[in-house]
Amino acid sequence: MASPELKHPLLSVQQLGRTAVQAVEECGYVAALLVESLYWVVFGSVRHQPVRLPSIFSQMMTIGIGAIPIVFVLSFAVGVMLAIQGIHTLRIFGAESQVVIGIALSVTREFGPLITGVLIAGRSGSALAAQIGTMQVSQEIDALRVMGINPVRYLVSPALLAMLIMVPTLTFFSDLAALFGGAVYSTVELGLGVEAYLQQTLDVLAADDIMQGLIKSVVFAGIIALVGVSNGFSVTGGAEGVGRATTRAVVLSISYIVLADMVFTYFLNR
Amino acid sequence: MASVLTSVDDPVMEVQDLVTHYGAVQILRGVNMTVSPGEIMAIMGRSGSGKSTLLSYLLGLHRPTSGCVRLLGLDIARASAAELHELRKNIGVAFQGGAMFSSMTVGENIRLPLREHTKLDEKTMQIMTRMKLELVNLGGFEHLMPSQLSGGMLKRAALARAIIMDPKLLFFDEPSAGLDPVVAAELDELILRLRDALQMTIVVVTHELSSACKIADRIMILEKGCVLMTGTVDEVRNSENERIQAMLHRRPGTKEIDPDDYLQRLTRD
Amino acid sequence: MKYKTRKEGRYTVVELMGDVDLSCSVDARKVILEFLKGGRNVLVELSQVTYIDSSGVASLVEGYQTARKKELKFGLVGVSDAALSVIQLARLDKVFPIHATVEERLREDG
Per-residue pLDDT for B146 more than 60? yes
pLDDT at B245: 80
Chain mean pLDDT for chain B = 89
Q: How many CB pairs below 8 Å do chains B and C form together?
A: 52
Question: Which region holds residue B201: left if phi is over 0, alpha if psi is between -120 and 50, else beta?
Answer: beta
User: Which candidate in B1, B124, B132, B135 is best for mutational testing of the C interface (most C CBs within 10 A)?
Assistant: B124
CA angle A143, B136, B56 (to 5 degrees): 25
Whole-number pLDDT of residue A5? 55
Q: In this predicted structure, what is the pLDDT of residue B252?
A: 66
Contact A205, A103 (CB under 8 A): no
Set out the domains of chain B in order of their start, with CATH numbers. Answer: 1-36+45-87+207-252 (3.40.50.300)
Residue B221 contacts residue B231 (beta carbons within 8 Å) = no
Edge-to-edge, what's the strand order for the sheet holding C11-20? Answer: C2-8, C11-20, C41-52, C74-77, C98-99
Cβ <8 Å between C58 and B131: yes
Using CA coordinates, name the residue in chain A closest to B87. Answer: A148
* Whole-number Å distance between alpha carbons of B15 and B183: 32
Among A129-138, B50-59, B257-266, C60-69, the range scoring the smallest mean pLDDT is: B257-266
Q: Is the dihedral of CA A238, A239, A244, A246 positive or negative?
A: positive
List chains touching C (3+ CB pairs under 8 A): B
The residue among B3 and A137 whose pLDDT is bigger is A137
Mean confidence (pLDDT) of chain A? 92
Taking a C-beta distance cutoff of 8 angstroms, is the pair B114, B125 a contact? Answer: yes
DSSP per position, C81-92: HHHHHHHHHTT-
Select the residue from A147, A155, A157 to test the B interface by mutation, using most B Cβ atoms within 10 A: A147
| Distance in angstroms (rounded) separating the CA atoms of residues B43 and B26 | 19
Is pLDDT of A1 > 60? no
The stretch B192-201 carries a mean pLDDT of: 90
Average pLDDT over residues A55-63: 94
Chain B residue with Cα closest to C54: B128
DSSP B241-269: -HHHHHHHTTPPPPPP--HHHHHHHHH--
**Whether A121 contacts A254, CB under 8 Å:** yes
d(CA C98, CA C80): 11
Q: What is the pLDDT of residue B4?
A: 44
Give the closest-approach CA distance of B236 to chain A in angstroms: 31
Is the pLDDT score of B209 beyond 60?
A: yes
Asked if B43 contacts B206 with a C-beta cutoff of 8 angstroms, the reply is yes
> Closest by alpha carbon to B97, among B174, B45, B42, B194?
B174
Predicted pLDDT at B1: 39
Q: Which of A9-13, A167-171, B203-207 has the lowest mean pLDDT?
A: A9-13
Quick one: pLDDT band at residue B49, thresholds 50, 70, 90?
A: confident
Report the Cα A98 to chain-centroid distance in Å.
Answer: 31
Residues of A in contact with B60 (CB under 8 A): 146
- Predicted confidence at residue B8, as pLDDT, reads 61
Say what percent of chain A tops pLDDT 70.
97
- B55 pLDDT more than 90: yes
Domains defined along chain C, listed by start? 2-100 (3.30.750.24)
List pLDDT tens digits, range A195-239: 888 899 999 998 889 999 999 999 999 999 999 999 999 998 888
Half-sphere exposure in the Cβ direction for A126 (13 Å, CA) = 15
Indicate yes or no: CB of A142 within 8 angstroms of CB of B95: yes
